[in-house]
Amino acid sequence: MINIVEVEGIEVYAYHGCMEEEARLGGKYIVDIAINTDFSKSGETDHLIDTIDYVAVRKIVIEEMAIRSKLIEHVGYRILNRFKNSFTGPNTFKIKVRKLNPPIEGTVKEVAITIEG
């Protein structure tokens, strides 16, 4: 059985980007996570140990977003690798990193990358 655990709208202030201003001033990011997993055991036992802990998901995102990168693609892959090393089982992960108000000429609400693996 495949189930999905989602943690959406993780808001982070971080310092990613290729421009020096981004490293100095930072910006707002939103990260969405979806994990395909089998949590049928936790449905029976009602024990947190038998499923994906939402707190652990958010903690990994916050820790990886705190490490400066030039590209949000780089941050996304770091998050993916941490998830793969932290959560056992036949899980697949979908990570979306959104950078709000990027420093692009003209009005751009956000840019985003999505990684599945």
- Positions annotated as catalytic residues are 99
Q: What's the CA gap between 32 and 1, in Å, rounded? A: 23
Q: What is the largest CA-CA distance in the chain?
A: 53
Is 95 within 8 Å of 30 (Cβ atoms)? no
Q: Are the beta carbons of 96 and 29 closer than 8 angstroms?
A: no
SS3 93: strand
Spatial CB neighbours of 81, under 8 Å, sequence gap ≥ 6: none
Quick check: helix, strand or coil at residue 32? strand
